[in-house]
Amino acid sequence: MSSINRELQITLQAALREAVARRHAFLTVEHLLYALLHDERGVDVLGNCGANLPRLKEALERFFDDDLAREPGDEPIETSQTMSFHRCIRAALHHAESAEKEEIEAGDLLAALFQESDTHAVDLLRAQGISRVDVLRFISHGVSKMSTARDKSPAGVIGREAESEELEEEDGAPDPLVAFASNLTERAGRGELDPLVGRKLELERTIQILARRRKNNPIFVGESGVGKTAIAEGLALKIVAGDVPDELRDAEIFALDLGALLAGTKYRGDFEARFKALIAAVQKRPNPIVFIDEIHTVLGAGAAQGATVDASSMLKPLLQSGALRCMGSTTYVEYRHFERDRALARRFQRVEIHEPSIDEAVKILEGLAPHYEKHHGVRYVSRALRLCVELSAKHLHDRFLPDKAIDVMDEAGAAVRLSPGREPRKKVNVRDVEGVIARMAQIPLPTASTSERERLETLVKDLQGGVFGQDAAIATLVRAGSRGPRRKPAADRLLPLHGPHWRRQDRARQAAREMSRRELPALRYER
């Protein structure tokens, strides 16, 4: 069951004190509205619904002085609630329970107050153009009437006139850029982004696309974990450092949070209002660039059932005219779905982000290591960084470099920092990395800690320990199995075994057992 939060309890007590101080015999919804005008959350809700707060206070004070009778005398009076006040509190509790909220707040009371339509408080709110729907849209979805009321034309935000800064300050509306986006250039200036190592060609191509007159929207396509988002963050770092052409010297990159835009948009038009408000705020900036991670999610985002309007349909005219520059990222699989919307896909220029090589990934880790060393309070030895890359490439097959190597480096640092002992260790060495790989890949530690050459060198001895009297055959078997490079076709690994049937099977079983321990697959074929 919902309850009244502490702040609202203070507001209700203030309403009662106001009624007593004015010697009013009844506690009315007008007293409640007056108290909400002095409540921080109440002021926030009313301001975003378009209320003129000073004028509203003035009108309520006139009502108290002219229309409500004062009890004579100086003795303390007992003030009782009116039925409308009581119904308002109950309606607010019911609204909070139906919304599965644990506590009611000022916004719930304001929404409930509109149900008392024959009161002077509601008349005053309606006179200022405030409706119950305005209150519900703001408290449920964060949609400010003030940020969307000035965008009435069917063409949306294209070509809309810029409002003055004074009007924006008067509104008191929350900035959509703060609510629904993250300024990557500001974060880069505060040192919150990791450096971009390598990717020089990809970054140059991105800058060239952004400098185009039309279709100046790059889309990064690559497997998960290869560093697509890092390109956008790296560009933000270069902008802050001034290491970009004049075209981008004053640019700002805003990473759009599509999840926040969609959260709570139950009613038709909610998403469109938020999206337009966000784009309008972006376009007020002198040189903005929008970055949408997982950009394939804009297809169908915000579309009501049976409707054709979604985020992609609102983006298309902006991208076509060049009024807005947008960067996106997606995987190869999702890009196939993205390409189905031909009108949207042709507005983007594809930039492929390939998985880095072992040596490139090592350089990336060397560039990131100081940040992880500072966080964990450790130091990575150079061999450990290379091993993070080599072992993750070898044993973590379902993921891609450099992401999986960075995860190994991070977890190894955490393991060393949290290791028991009187004096904490300061170095992350090879054994630490091998232990992390063994846990992440769920393989025995010896498998992670020895090279394939070392494992094959002991294969003869291990096989001879399991099959007796067959030393010559085992030596021939191992030579045949290990001949040639590691990535030979499967047919090169066929080991024809001769001799009595039971001996052939015994040798094959033992060979398969030892090979599986060394992560060398062995398949059985019988004639």
- Would the pLDDT of 501 be above 50? no
CATH superfamily of 3-141: Clp, N-terminal domain (1.10.1780.10)
Mean pLDDT, residues 224-233 taken together: 90
- Mean pLDDT is lowest, of 168-177, 209-218, 251-260, for 168-177
Cα 412 to Cα 393: distance, rounded to the nearest angstrom: 16
The three-class DSSP label of residue 284 is: coil
In this prediction, residue 220 has a pLDDT band, given cuts at 50, 70 and 90, of very high
The three-class DSSP label of residue 406 is: helix
Q: Looking at per-residue confidence, does 106 or 469 come out higher? A: 106
User: pTM above the 0.85 mark?
Assistant: no
- Cβ-proximal residues to 412 (8 Å cutoff; 6+ apart), any chain: 380, 384, 388, 428, 432, 433, 435, 436
Mean pLDDT of the chain: 77
- Would the pLDDT of 342 be above 60? yes
In this prediction, residue 215 has a pLDDT band, given cuts at 50, 70 and 90, of confident
pLDDT at 490: 43
In this prediction, residue 515 has a pLDDT band, given cuts at 50, 70 and 90, of low
Among 283, 282, 270, 253, smallest CA distance to 311 is for: 270
Q: Looking at per-residue confidence, does 30 or 97 come out higher? A: 30
- Would the pLDDT of 74 be above 90? no
CA-to-CA dists, residue 84 to 2, 26, 63, 308, angstroms: 20, 11, 17, 43
State pLDDT tens for residues 22-32: 888 888 989 99
pLDDT at 13: 87
Residues of the chain with CATH 1.10.1780.10: 3-141
Contact 330, 295 (CB under 8 A): yes
**DSSP letters for 97-149:** HHTT-SEE-HHHHHHHHTT-TTSHHHHHHHHTT--HHHHHHHHHH---HHHHT
* CATH 3.40.50.300 is right for the domain spanning 179-352: yes
- Mean pLDDT is lowest, of 4-13, 127-136, 488-497, for 488-497
Residues of the chain with CATH 1.10.8.60: 358-449
Mean pLDDT, residues 272-277 taken together: 77
pLDDT at 510: 59
- Mean pLDDT is lowest, of 184-198, 209-223, 265-279, 399-413, for 265-279
Cα 217 to Cα 291: distance, rounded to the nearest angstrom: 10
pLDDT at 177: 80
In this prediction, residue 360 has a pLDDT band, given cuts at 50, 70 and 90, of very high
Cα 111 to Cα 99: distance, rounded to the nearest angstrom: 13
pLDDT at 310: 59
pLDDT at 380: 92
- Would the pLDDT of 336 be above 60? yes
pLDDT at 149: 44
Given the DSSP bridges, would you call strands 427-428 and 379-380 parallel, antiparallel or unpaired? parallel
pLDDT at 99: 72
Q: Which one of 69-73, 472-476, 485-489 scores highest in mean pLDDT?
A: 69-73
First CA to last CA distance, the chain: 73
Q: Tokens standing for 485?
A: 């490079």
The total number of residues shown for the chain amounts to 527
Residues of the chain with CATH 3.40.50.300: 179-352
CA-to-CA dists, residue 420 to 6, 375, 378, 424, 431, angstroms: 44, 18, 15, 7, 16
Helix (H) / strand (E) containing 453? helix 452-457
Q: Tokens standing for 434?
A: 């091998």
Mean pLDDT, residues 180-189 taken together: 88
Contact 280, 160 (CB under 8 A): yes
Q: 10 Å Cβ neighbour count for 167?
A: 10
- Would the pLDDT of 218 be above 70? yes
Supply the CATH classification number for the domain 358-449: 1.10.8.60
Q: Looking at per-residue confidence, does 504 or 18 come out higher? A: 18
- Cβ-proximal residues to 462 (8 Å cutoff; 6+ apart), any chain: 514
Contact 112, 92 (CB under 8 A): yes
Mean pLDDT, residues 243-252 taken together: 87
pLDDT at 494: 44
Cα 381 to Cα 394: distance, rounded to the nearest angstrom: 20
Given the DSSP bridges, would you call strands 218-221 and 349-352 parallel, antiparallel or unpaired? parallel
Phi, psi of 27 (to 5 degrees): -90, 115
pLDDT at 307: 39
Mean pLDDT, residues 324-333 taken together: 88
Mean pLDDT, residues 353-362 taken together: 91
User: What's CA 181's distance to the chain center, in Å?
Assistant: 10
Q: Looking at per-residue confidence, does 259 or 355 come out higher? A: 355
- Cβ-proximal residues to 225 (8 Å cutoff; 6+ apart), any chain: 399, 400, 401, 402, 403, 404
DSSP tag of 183: E
Cα 484 to Cα 496: distance, rounded to the nearest angstrom: 17
Residue the block writes with tokens 């802050």? 240
Cα 113 to Cα 42: distance, rounded to the nearest angstrom: 12
